[in-house]
Amino acid sequence: MTRLALAIGILGTGFAVATPASADFAVIKFKDTGACRAWLDHTAKPASPHQVLWAKVPTWEVAQAKGAWAVKHKWCKAWT
């Protein structure tokens, strides 16, 4: 019985470790400069006045693409 419990515990730990970590990004516009940038964590906001344009973006590349789109359509003055 203890071997079965140990095996289940090891398998459970293995599955928990094997699942990929999900990091969500955000595209943030700073109101004082009008510049936008990709933000690493959509829950941790910057201290300066800001506006979140997109939240929970799945990858860094998608956040960069959305930022380029925002600059192209004049939502942002610059991309930093």
Residue 44 domain-assigned?
yes
Please give the tally of structural domains in the chain. 1
For residue 69, give Cα distances in angstroms to 5, 14, 31, 40, 74: 53, 40, 18, 18, 9
Residues 19-35: pLDDT tens digits? 555 678 999 999 999 99
Residue 75 domain-assigned?
yes
Residue 8 domain-assigned?
no
Residue 12 domain-assigned?
no
pLDDT value for 5: 67
Residues 22-69: pLDDT tens digits? 678 999 999 999 999 998 877 777 878 999 898 889 999 999 999 999
Binning pLDDT at 50, 70 and 90, where does residue 14 land?
low
Domain that holds residue 32: 22-79
